[in-house]
Amino acid sequence: MHFQLSAEQSLLRLRAREFARQVVLPQVALYDRTPAFPWEIFRRAREERLLHLCIPSSYNGPGLGILEQVIVAEELSWSCTGICAAVSLNALAISALLLAGDPFQQEHFFSRLLAGQLCSFAVTEPEAGSDIAAIRTTAVRSTGEDVYILNGRKIWISNAPDASFFLILAKTTPEQGHHGISLFIVERATPGLIVGPVRGKLGQQATLTADIFLEDVRVPLSALLGPEDHGFKLALQVFDRSRPLVAAYGVGLIQRCLDEALDYARRRRSMGKPIIEHQAIGNKIAEIAMSLEAARLLTYQSAWLLDSGQQGTLQAAYAKAFAADTAMKAATETLQIFGSAGYGTDLPIEKLLRDAKLLQIYEGTSEIQRLIMQKALAGRSSART
């Protein structure tokens, strides 16, 4: 066992760090004030081969693993979690295609993603957030035709305003509950698919979200991703792979909080000395630093397990919940260290707080992650196995 990155991974980290500082950071305030998809940053990150890392080399992709994906996301999130999420969310589609796509689907859609298109993963509905089994969107096989007809509504779908195609979860055999759910690839231009207006939100402004309305949307049988009625299991497998990515967003944000807090606490003086020398402030910074190391280790472990072909559900839940909760706490404490200066919009501290909150909500809330942990632990013969 060792805790060192390979030479290649270290170089990737440095490239991502330089990109975050030189390309992303100067644009952060603009995208926070004027929400829009960061197309220029996306294009440059794609050219630098910092995106789509898990697409196999056989399809002209980088052919790397989830750990490398996590390393890059951590660095980009240091600058802005919203921009990082926006440019990296194709990872969900890539995971689904890797897990269940046939050779034609993989070749066709991987090439489109590598060429710069976006795909949205559409699961959430008005009555089904964390409870995926409660979705109401349906996909009915048309009698005498080789098509499915989709009807329903999806909400809060990230990158939907700019996506070229969607992965949409729908019930194909409603009477079977979660065993009757399937996943479909649906082109944006398909008649009956309507993308609603951009939703306003608290933070992560560069990641645009919108609702999707499906009104008698007809898709060919080839739109089915994986076997019929296997969509629920597939979605859970995708989330196992995406949660380490979201955890990495949190790690990057915590690192930024630590860097900002340290820099300010060394410069700001009170009662004749830098405030970092006051125990109340020093302890806050120590807690942020300690929790950062724990979050990073959990995140890297969850990615490594998946890359090693091992079951990663429990570790992904650990990483996602801990990193998200720690990010929120770190942002809150950093603002407290800055005091009134941090509350103003001329510094990035209040933005860190706004961005951090969403990490506790999407890709499964922190409460849902704990339910996943409980279920996994309850099925073990020993807590040490």
2 within some domain: no
363 is catalytic: yes
Percent of the chain at pLDDT > 70 equals: 98
Q: What is the CATH number of the domain that holds 345?
A: 1.20.140.10
**Residues 188, 266 within the same domain:** no
148 within some domain: yes
Q: What is the CATH number of the domain that holds 213?
A: 2.40.110.10
**Residues 103, 132 within the same domain:** no
- Secondary structure (DSSP) of 112-126: HHHTT--EEEE--BT
**Residues 331, 368 within the same domain:** yes
**Residues 100, 180 within the same domain:** no
Mean pLDDT of 109-120: 98
Question: What is the CB neighbour count within 10 angstroms for residue 357?
Answer: 17
* 199, 156 Cβ separation under 8 angstroms: yes
Digit-coded pLDDT (tens) for 6-46 = 999 999 999 999 999 999 999 999 999 999 999 999 999 99
* Residue 385, pLDDT above cutoff 80: no
**Tokens at 81, concatenated:** 């979690």
212 within some domain: yes
Residue 154's identity, in one-letter code, is K
Total domain count for the chain? 3
Confidence (pLDDT) at 177: 92
**Residues 200, 275 within the same domain:** no
Domain that residue 312 falls in:
238-378
**Residues 250, 367 within the same domain:** yes
Digit-coded pLDDT (tens) for 234-249 = 999 999 999 999 999 9
**Residues 174, 298 within the same domain:** no
Could you say which of 183, 200, 231 is where a domain stops?
Answer: 231
**Range 101-134 burial, b when 16+ CB lie within 10 A, else e:** beeebbeebbebbbeebbbbbbbbbeebbeebee
* Residue 380, pLDDT above cutoff 80: no
* Residue 80, pLDDT above cutoff 80: yes
**Residues 126, 91 within the same domain:** no
Q: At 182, is the secondary structure helix, strand, or coil?
A: strand
pLDDT band at 383 (very low <50, low <70, confident <90, very high): low
**Tokens at 91, concatenated:** 């990872």
Sign of CA dihedral 84, 247, 297, 336: positive
Could you say which of 58, 81, 114 is where a domain stops?
Answer: 114
Q: At 225, is the secondary structure helix, strand, or coil?
A: strand
Out of 68, 74, 75, 363, which one is annotated catalytic? 363
Confidence (pLDDT) at 384: 56
* Residue 328, pLDDT above cutoff 90: yes
- Cα–Cα distance list, 384 to 153, 292, 298, 317 (Å): 43, 24, 16, 17
**Residues 216, 249 within the same domain:** no
**Tokens at 360, concatenated:** 């506790």
Phi, psi (deg, nearest 5) at residue 383: -65, -15
Confidence (pLDDT) at 381: 60
Digit-coded pLDDT (tens) for 288-323 = 999 999 999 999 999 999 999 999 999 999 999 999
Could you say which of 182, 215, 231 is where a domain stops?
Answer: 231
**Cα–chain center distance at 220:** 29
Residue 185, strand partner residues: 167
The position carrying tokens 């002209």 is: 60
* Residue 48, pLDDT above cutoff 60: yes
**Tokens at 13, concatenated:** 């980290």
**Tokens at 26, concatenated:** 């100067």
Q: What is the CATH number of the domain that holds 25?
A: 1.10.540.10
**Residues 209, 273 within the same domain:** no
**Residues 360, 263 within the same domain:** yes
Question: What is the CB neighbour count within 10 angstroms for residue 379?
Answer: 8
247 burial class (0-12, 13-18, 19+ CB within 10 angstroms)? buried
Question: What is the CB neighbour count within 10 angstroms for residue 267?
Answer: 10
* Residue 343, pLDDT above cutoff 70: yes
384 within some domain: no
37 within some domain: yes
383 within some domain: no
1 within some domain: no
Mean pLDDT of 121-126: 96
Mean pLDDT estimate for the chain: 96
**Residues 176, 257 within the same domain:** no
42 within some domain: yes
* Residue 341, pLDDT above cutoff 60: yes
